[in-house]
Amino acid sequence: MTQYQAKIYVTLRPSVLDPAGTAVETGLQHLGHDGIEGVRIGKYVELKLAAENEDAAKQKLDQVCDQLLANPVIENYRFELAAA
């Protein structure tokens, strides 16, 4: 078994309105930062996992994300994996 460190990014699907992102974008504009657009707020999760190899670790992460960390109705996810 190898120990892996995963960094998981959960983001709202592009079709889902993100009012919090819009509020932050407006705040940035009020601060005078021009040229900023498309602010979207997501979640970042770190975790460690043990797996036989990288493929098994990826498979496990897909399960974890599909079952709990992301709601596929409204969210997408991606992750980065490195041997810990």
* Stretch of 1-9, 32-40, 47-55, 66-74 contacting other proteins, by CB under 8 A: 66-74
CA angle 37, 13, 70 (to 5 degrees): 125
Report the C-alpha dihedral over residues 42, 47, 50, 53, rounded to 10 degrees.
Answer: 40
Select the residue interacting with other proteins from 20, 36, 50, 84 (CB under 8 A): 20
State yes or no: residue 17 binds other proteins (CB under 8 A): yes
Between 17 and 31, CB nearer to other proteins: 17
Q: Which helix (H) or strand (E) holds 78?
A: strand 75-83
Select the residue interacting with other proteins from 1, 36, 50, 74 (CB under 8 A): 74
Query: What number of other Cβ atoms are within 10 A of residue 50's Cβ?
Result: 12
Residues that bind other proteins (CB under 8 A): 12, 15-20, 23, 43, 68-69, 71, 73-74
